[in-house]
A and B are shown apart, each in its own frame.
Chain A
């Protein structure tokens, strides 16, 4: 069948294109140019920078498949980068990869794939799409160290039905690199992409400061009872649960402090002991990959990209949800809370402020 492969120029999506081509599909490679790689640094190791586009083209040429570069800069700017800066300025901690998946990749690119008469779109995400009795299901990758299901919770039923994730069942990255070498792809030894692709050298706070100078103004670090414990250099540098960069406020009465809340309006960081987290979380922009449950469901939830899911009960409401954690935890507004039943993703939402 005709299938569009989203090719970033990295080893994962290159192998996706190669495996599908090898299996006899009519593969159409598409690379999205997300931002001006001249303005960023052009270093290796982050997705879709200049070198990566050339790598993707070279892989496609090597495979002998058509390949196209799509200008997605305007949409990426509005849907991902602006949201990223605005979220930080509002005292939240955004997940730009989720926003990118929701907009540029699984809406725009998927629409392009349909427009081109493709029957499916494949990406290099490490998740599994399992045909269940009620339609396609989203599952964690076979390799837990690589699993990216947390970043794909917002994928809708329709998007999931059209998507393919050929790497989800791979036992590990070595297997993927092995395929790349076997297929003769020059990217087989290319380093994995790290951190956030549009933030050169990983200094996201500088980017936020440039786009939203208000998020970079100094303010007080306070205790819960209103005592000033120290100063900070901008709310954008703080995330709920964070323990570093607190300076003089790192300890209060000999007790290690963590960020409990970011009050952007008053430019205040509120700290307290890590154990001060709550057990109730409200979610917004909730997406269900099962029928929205009428009754509370018991499942596990994951509040950060890298942490073990923890037991909780989830109550669905119109467009939102409430989560009751078995064990209190610090939840950072803006991050995702994803619901799992074992390996299966049931849905998820963005953590709202209290």
Chain B
């Protein structure tokens, strides 16, 4: 099988697996005062230090969570008090669902947020702005540093969903100048079940899950230490350059009739390919039956391929229902590109002809 759905989840990195397995044997609770607790705490705090260093945050401002959704939820709940919430039109459901009433920041045809519209909106009452660093469906990168500067000028706060960007490009809370940032372990090759919220100095969130006051009172519950150890191990690894393979796969798809959505400023592992006239779910199924794993739109709990709000927001029209996402994992090889090319070519020859 050629696994090309990294933006859904990355294969586990061996180093993360080793760290996870080692931490499984730590019997102590990091909150305990005895030696076993101290041993566990050391692993937890080493992980915190590694995450902080890697993503431009202070150690004391790294809050471990169960994953990206919880990190986004915690940030928005904590930073939106007495503020309007403005979110990009292509944000992930983890952000869209976390704020009940939001203003939507429009995007252009490439999916890039309209910062002029943001500037106009920020002239109003105090706001929390949520902008993703990289989009999960198209890979499109948002001008987050510019948005952060705008927010500072208008005394607005900026929360960055960096779940897809982290581990795939340089990602630093400090360098971006944002107020908070959400991360997910399994999107960067760590185990599923861990994530983090990074806070800029001076910004605080109240716990959504209170419990025993862990994580300095910001997130109750015993931390999932093995997952967090694996998360930190994966986060600190260098990443192979996937761009040549991605570009080759994309070029081949274009020759087969595909249209690339999402502009040129994208994650180097992601391509969003529309095949005019062919339903996205048909493409995903055809490729799956040919042994190539890709995805389309947002997977819902039934497994149904739902129409993409991201591509709709970009004004993709009918193509919004005809696009698949190909996202290369850290361990992709040229044989995967070959398998994708063969399967995509065969599919396009069979289906695009009928659609035409």
- A residues lining the B interface (CB < 8 Å): 2, 28, 33, 50, 53-54, 57, 66-71, 112, 115-117
Bound: A115/B350 CA distance, A: 7
Q: A28-B289, A66-B288, A66-B289 are in contact. Are A116 and B302 (CB under 8 A)?
A: no
List which B287-311 residues lie within 8 A (CB) of chain A: 288-289, 302-307
Bound: A116/B354 CA distance, A: 13
B77 contacts the other chain (Cβ, under 8 Å)? no
Residues on A with beta carbons closer than 8 Å to the beta carbon of B350: 115, 117
Stretch at the interface among B143-151, B168-176, B278-286: B278-286
Residues on B with beta carbons closer than 8 Å to the beta carbon of A68: 281, 284-285, 288, 303
Q: A33-B302, A57-B303 are in contact. Are A71 and B288 (CB under 8 A)?
A: no
Q: A115-B350, A116-B282 are in contact. Are A69 and B302 (CB under 8 A)?
A: yes
Bound: A66/B286 CA distance, A: 11
In the assembled complex, how far is the CB of residue A328 from the closest CB belonging to chain B, in whole angstroms? Answer: 49
Asked if B289 and A70 make an inter-chain contact with CB atoms under 8 angstroms apart, the answer reads: no
In the assembled complex, how far is the CB of residue A167 from the closest CB belonging to chain B, in whole angstroms? Answer: 25
Closest to B283 in A: A115
> Please, how many residues of chain B have a CB less than 8 angstroms from a CB on the other chain?
16
B259 contacts the other chain (Cβ, under 8 Å)? no
Bound: A295/B195 CA distance, A: 75
Contact of B303 among A28, A50, A67, A116 (CB under 8 A): A67
In the assembled complex, how far is the CB of residue B197 from the closest CB belonging to chain A, in whole angstroms? Answer: 31
Q: A28-B289, A66-B288, A66-B289 are in contact. Are A115 and B302 (CB under 8 A)?
A: no
Bound: A50/B302 CA distance, A: 8
Bound: A117/B351 CA distance, A: 10
Asked if A54 and B302 make an inter-chain contact with CB atoms under 8 angstroms apart, the answer reads: yes
Asked if B282 and A71 make an inter-chain contact with CB atoms under 8 angstroms apart, the answer reads: no
In the assembled complex, how far is the CB of residue B295 from the closest CB belonging to chain A, in whole angstroms? Answer: 12
Residues on B with beta carbons closer than 8 Å to the beta carbon of A50: 302
In the assembled complex, how far is the CB of residue B302 from the closest CB belonging to chain A, in whole angstroms? Answer: 5
Identify 14 residue pairs between A and B in the complex whose beta-carbon atoms are under 8 Å apart, listed by A's number: A28-B285, A28-B289, A66-B285, A68-B285, A69-B302, A69-B304, A70-B304, A70-B305, A112-B282, A115-B286, A115-B351, A116-B282, A116-B286, A117-B286
In the assembled complex, how far is the CB of residue B321 from the closest CB belonging to chain A, in whole angstroms? Answer: 9
Closest to A32 in B: B304
Contact of A117 among B288, B289, B302, B303 (CB under 8 A): B289
Asked if B305 and A71 make an inter-chain contact with CB atoms under 8 angstroms apart, the answer reads: yes
Residues on A with beta carbons closer than 8 Å to the beta carbon of B288: 66, 68
Bound: A71/B299 CA distance, A: 12
Residues on A with beta carbons closer than 8 Å to the beta carbon of B304: 33, 53, 69-71
Closest to A33 in B: B304
Bound: A66/B351 CA distance, A: 20
Bound: A320/B307 CA distance, A: 39
Asked if B354 and A115 make an inter-chain contact with CB atoms under 8 angstroms apart, the answer reads: yes
In the assembled complex, how far is the CB of residue B30 from the closest CB belonging to chain A, in whole angstroms? Answer: 37
In the assembled complex, how far is the CB of residue B351 from the closest CB belonging to chain A, in whole angstroms? Answer: 6
In the assembled complex, how far is the CB of residue A345 from the closest CB belonging to chain B, in whole angstroms? Answer: 30
Residues on A with beta carbons closer than 8 Å to the beta carbon of B351: 115
Bound: A2/B290 CA distance, A: 12
Bound: A71/B282 CA distance, A: 11
In the assembled complex, how far is the CB of residue B50 from the closest CB belonging to chain A, in whole angstroms? Answer: 38
In the assembled complex, how far is the CB of residue A97 from the closest CB belonging to chain B, in whole angstroms? Answer: 22
Bound: A70/B288 CA distance, A: 14
In the assembled complex, how far is the CB of residue A34 from the closest CB belonging to chain B, in whole angstroms? Answer: 11
Residues on A with beta carbons closer than 8 Å to the beta carbon of B289: 2, 28, 66, 116-117
